[in-house]
Structure 1
Amino acid sequence: MANMCHPRLRETGYVRNFLRDRRGTVAIEFAMVASLFLMLLFGIIAFGFQFAGRIALSYVVAEGGRACVAALSEGECVSAATAVMNDALAGYSGLVTNATPAITPGTNGRIVVSVIGANVGLPVLPFVPDLSNLPDVSTTFIVTDPLG
């Protein structure tokens, strides 16, 4: 006789049991929290790669400036700084791409050392935002003759 009851009554029993069943709530809560946590984690990683790349470019520019200051002539300054900067950029080849050293000797002992057109990031992570529109890393060194 229990099987003979109206189909709608049986259906409401199934719906009522379905609404009372709490077995999947932990999985749903985990999915919501884990997705937020993973977005935050990958955001931190992406920012870390960009920040490390900018620090690497600053280091390359500083090394080029040191090599240029130690040179005796303008031609030697440009060649020594370019060689040192290319060696330093080769060490960061996975993090910094398309970087070109630029050394511009100016007047009154000023030397502008910069890295032009550098793309910072990891090509393995395509979802990392491209920050190539940031200004180039540049440093100005003022070289004075100690003998006057």
Structure 2
Amino acid sequence: MRPCTLVQRKHEKRGGASPRGEASPSSRLFRDKSGSVAIEFAFVAAVFLTILFGIMSYGFQFATRIALSYAVTEGGRAAVAGLDATQRQLYATNAINNALNAYTPIVNPAFATLDFQETEDAGGNRLEIAIDYTDSRFSFLPFIPTPEETIRVETTFVVTDPSA
């Protein structure tokens, strides 16, 4: 019986397992990995979610810019059919409003400011159509910078008289 007692004391001094199969408190602390996965997930999830919301924020802004670009070109195409400046502006405004209303989940037409200018030069009538759009709904996280506060999309059409 005596040698067993010496072996047991020897294991207790090293901090290892006792002959009964129990681990000492210090060795159990270093071998217990049950919470490490949760801590690793917390580190990775913070970075992953920041990247995910950044992609979503920029994606919404790019989709808004594409919708505004489409609306401006539709306004220009519709304006070409007008016979005078008043009719061209009316056609352009109606086409732009219809296009913006079609993109209502992404674009709020109330935030859009239309700018329509027509000048006459030797080549014909120059139509300059622009939309200024200000919307701050797409900044999900305050530490992710937004590209621009006001998005400006513009296009130029030249209307010529084919008979002249």
TM-score (norm 1): 0.79
Match of residue 9 from structure 2: none
SS of the counterpart of 1:43? helix
Q: 1:144 to 1:78 in 2, by over 3 A?
A: same
Q: Judge conservation of contact 1:49–1:121 (CA < 8 Å) in 2.
A: no
Aligned equivalent of 1:4: none
Q: Take 1:113 and 1:131, find their aligned partners in 2: how far apart are those partners?
A: 23
> Per-residue displacement from partner, 1:1-60 (whole Å, max 9, x unpaired)?
xxxxxxxx9xxx534432331111112112212222221111111111010000000000
**Where do 4+ consecutive residues of structure 1 move more than 6 Å?**
none
1:88 aligns with 2:99: yes
Partner amino acid, structure 1, of 2:70: Y
One-letter code aligned to 2:117: T
Match of 1:53 in 2: 64
Q: CA RMSD in A?
A: 2.3
Q: Which has the larger radius of gyration?
A: 2
Q: Secondary structure at the match of 1:136?
A: strand
What is the aligned counterpart of 1:101 among 114, 125, 129?
114
Partner-residue secondary structure (3-state), 2:45: helix
| 1:81 alignment partner, SS class | helix
Return 24-33 or 88-97, whichever deviates more: 88-97
Does the residue aligned with 2:61 lie in a helix, a strand or coil?
helix
In structure 2, the gaps of 5 or more residues are 1-14, 16-23
Whole-Å Cα distance in 2 between the matches of residues 47 and 126 of structure 1? Answer: 10
Q: Distance in 2 between matches of 1:134 and 1:100?
A: 11
Instruction: State how far apart, in whole Å, the 1-side matches of 2:145 and 2:134 are.
Output: 11
Using CA pairs below 8 Å that are at least 6 residues apart, which structure has the higher relative contact order?
1
The alignment status of 1:143 with 2:159, answered yes or no, reads yes
- Number of matched pairs: 135
The answer to whether the 8 Å contact 2:136/2:149 transfers is no
Q: What's 1:119 paired with?
A: 134
